[in-house]
Amino acid sequence: MYIVPPPKCSDARGSGNMAAPRIYQTWKGSNVFFLQGRFIFGPDYRSLLLTIFLIAAPVIVFCVFVARKLMDDFSHHLGISIMVIVVAYTVYVLSLLLLTSGRDPGIIPRNAHPPEPEGFDGSIEVGGGQTPQLRLPRMKDVVVNGISVKIKYCDTCMLYRPPRCSHCSICNNCVERFDHHCPWVGQCIGKRNYRFFFMFVFSTTLLCIYVFAFCCLYIKRIMDFENTSVWKALIKTPASIVLIIYTFISVWFVGGLTVFHLYLISTNQTTYENFRYRYDRRANPYNLGVVNNFKEIFFSEMTPSKNKFRARVPEEEGSTGLGLGQARVGPAGFVSPNMGRATVGGDLEMGAKASWRDMGGNMADFEGRLSSEPQEEKDGAEGLEGRGVMHPRRSSWGRKSGSWEISPEVLGMPGESERNSSSATQGTR
């Protein structure tokens, strides 16, 4: 098991001779990895052990106290088949459970920088000594099957979510075709594992019916062989009573969930969309008809994962990690509006509005320190105050390199900063 350690302020690589870490080792989500990134689970992966117990324990009781007795009552091959079928089918159900909870549900990789506004060419001239403010819209309109659909910007992942994508607050990832986060499997249910999730729920329903039916059959055979009442037959097999009650209750849960998801598949909805009543008053742009909807879920090609968890972290990403409170700066100088603010649960969407200010230069290598050029110091130094909060200064939008100076209060070296400032001013004169 590998749990991503908390981020460090210093460079994680150390010397240049060290190999770059793998992506799963620097993963920013809340996921837990097993077998060196081959399996990815949610942070509540321990609930998966409870689910396995709730499936395997009744089957073991059934095999020991019911199926073993039925093997003697039926012919040799028929009696053994009762035991073989239930064991093989249970292994199949647990395999579907692992495929649901241990694979990438459709996580969209995060952007390293906020996106640039549409149509921005980096050549806007600014006058009056004021820095321009560019605000990216929180919502955008895209057309899906001829119907306009709104997509939302995610402050955490710094991207516009594709249609039907949502940010899971538990796993802290944006997931394609997000359905819900299932605590029973300890994983988000999305585009890449919804098929296996439905098959798991449906197969568990059939397993409950199978155990329930053969427990009832065993009680009936006791009544016939001993010519007794049903109550006396129940006393002779208390394990059957427990299994009948357990499977009867369970089948209402997993059976009802199966019926509900059959409805969702037939109308091409997700649980998230259905609970928010998105299509009560307008057409569903994703509904392709009942037959095509089922084909899309069960017979369409499985899209490959967009994340290569075992790959090495690229050099440019691994060497410029941002610490807590540092700015998120794009290649064109657009900075996340939540810079310097405390986040709630790692997701910056709660009540925050996005705006990116042009900082006057290319800051791709920004690491909390901003270099200064002597010829731009005639307006005085504008510093960094607080924790990574930047204040606008006079700048030229069209310049290729930034001109910024850190205030002496931040550096803690007032004497040296004043000497450098005076010498730079005399050089410009």
Q: Kindly name the residue from 154, 168, 174, 182 that is annotated as catalytic.
A: 182
Beta carbons within 8 Å of 124's beta carbon, 6+ residues apart:
132, 358, 397, 398
- Contact partners, residue 98, CB within 8 Å, separation at least 6: none
Query: What is the rounded CA–CA span in Å between residue 335 and residue 303?
Result: 33
Buried b (16+ CB within 10 A) or exposed e, 344-383: eeebbbeebebebbbbbbbbeebeeebebebebbeeebbb
For residue 282, how far is the Cα from the chain centroid? Answer: 28
The answer to whether the CB of 338 falls within 8 A of the CB of 155 is: yes
In the chain, what are the helix, strand and coil shares in percent, each to the nearest 5?
40, 10, 50
Query: CA-CA distance, 359 to 172, in Å (whole number)?
Result: 29
| 208 catalytically annotated | no
DSSP string, 175-213: ETT--EEETTTTEEE-TTTHHHHHHHHHHHHHHHHHHHH
Tokens read off for 187: 């994983």
- C-beta separation of 311 from 366 below 8 A: no
Phi then psi dihedrals of residue 311, to 5 deg: -75, 160
Task: Return d(Cα 318, Cα 23) in angstroms, integer.
Answer: 10
Tell me the three state secondary structure of residue 71. helix
- Cα torsion 272, 31, 347, 183 to 10°: value is 40
Residues with catalytic function: 182
